[in-house]
Amino acid sequence: MKDMRPDTPAAHTAEADRLLRTAAQYPGDREPLLLRAAAHLELADDRPGATALYDDLLSGDPADPHLIRALKASNLWEYGHEAEARAIIDGVRRARPADAAPWEIAAETLEAHDELEAAEATLTEAAGLLATGPEELPHATVSLLVTRHRVRRMLARDHDAWDTLADRLHTATIPLDELHDPKRLWSLGSSDPTELQAEIARLRSELGTYRTALSRPFPVAVLHWPEPELTELLASYPELETEYPTYRAHLTDIEASLRELAAAGTPNLGIVRATVPSYEAFAASEATHPSQAPLLPQYATTLAARSRALPWPPLRTEACWCGSERAYGECHGADGEKNLSGK
């Protein structure tokens, strides 16, 4: 069979078909799988097909209807349904969703069609709803503030408190004011190697930010076996005791591994909660015995691909991933080896 590049329309169509088949196998994961399938159909330029999937999801009782509507509006506008897209975006704004993603998608749709004033108003409304407290902001809200910073730079607006906050939360080496400078495109026509090299560095930094955002649904995931599940696993498959000598060691290894990956620059880390029945079903689907240790990372990756991963690290004030019911900052997020056991 002829090899296809993964970014061809045919490859995206094939991936959408695969995701739809997977959704039929795992109805509990239908919503995230159909959203990914719709994204691939958009990349294949089958925008009516993507709209049909969004409508299919909205005809039921989706977990995140505002996100689906925002994605549908963005898709509709791209193939000539501007009036309907505007109406959907207005509806999303009136609904005042408590998550940043629908706001940001709606605003970026407006921005993509040169509606900068409306995009800025949408992002400012969202910031007033989601970024007013003193607590640590989730990634999606930080992303929204960065997008707002960019739109306001394009409008030549003076920095306000939220722009300053976006600057402070931005972690890349290139400052936001440089990344979002409308004049930076001028340097692309320069014959000065120094100016061109500086622009390449800015573009690489910006691309890294976009890659992080795009890859968030597909994190590098580590398995967490709750204590009863680990006990059952080792009783059934003692061959895996070399992987999990004790439950305490298991928890310590999870946090240590994730910290090591983070220190090495690996983005979008996650934790997936494992269960013995799920693992056995996965082993059967792979025609492999559950006692085979190489199956474990494949199981983790499959759970993550089905949107089962929880992002790591959680906010310090959120519940710890280990299930101790303590805040992460007082449990595995605290410094010191003694805090890695979750005890």
Report the DSSP beta bridge partners of residue 319. 327
Percent of the chain exceeding pLDDT 90 equals 52
Residue bearing the bigger pLDDT, 16 or 196 = 16
Annotate 162-194 with b (16+ C-beta within 10 A) or e (fewer). Answer: bbebbeebbebebebebbbbeebeebeeeeeee
Determine contact, residues 51/74, Cβ cutoff 8 Å: no
- Identify the pLDDT of residue 84: 97
Residue bearing the bigger pLDDT, 264 or 197 = 264
CA distance 327 to 69: 34
Q: Is residue 301 a part of any domain in this protein?
A: yes
- Identify the pLDDT of residue 216: 44
Q: Is residue 62 a part of any domain in this protein?
A: no
Residue 145 has pLDDT above 50, yes or no: yes
Q: How far, CA to CA in Å, does 204 sit from each of 111, 145, 186, 187, 201?
A: 22, 20, 17, 15, 5
Q: Please count the structural domains in the chain.
A: 1
Q: What angle do CA 203, 208, 211 make, to 5 degrees?
A: 125
Q: Is residue 258 a part of any domain in this protein?
A: yes
Q: Is residue 19 a part of any domain in this protein?
A: no
Q: Is residue 286 a part of any domain in this protein?
A: yes
Residue bearing the bigger pLDDT, 323 or 216 = 323
Listed in sequence order, the residues at least 6 apart from 44 whose beta carbon sits closer than 8 Å to its beta carbon are 9, 10, 12, 13, 16
Q: Is residue 297 a part of any domain in this protein?
A: yes
Q: What angle do CA 212, 275, 251 make, to 5 degrees?
A: 65
Residue 195 has pLDDT above 80, yes or no: no
What is the average pLDDT score of the chain?
85
User: Taking the mean position of all CA atoms in its chain, how far away is CA 109?
Assistant: 19
- Identify the pLDDT of residue 133: 77
| Confidence bin at 57 (pLDDT 50/70/90) | very high
Domain enclosing residue 314, as ranges: 220-341
Nearest to 258 by CA among 246, 269, 244: 269
3-state secondary structure of 284: helix
Determine contact, residues 231/248, Cβ cutoff 8 Å: no
Determine contact, residues 233/240, Cβ cutoff 8 Å: yes
Determine contact, residues 12/43, Cβ cutoff 8 Å: yes
Residue 3 has pLDDT above 80, yes or no: no
Q: Is residue 280 a part of any domain in this protein?
A: yes
Q: What is the mean pLDDT of residues 112-130?
A: 94
Q: Is residue 232 a part of any domain in this protein?
A: yes
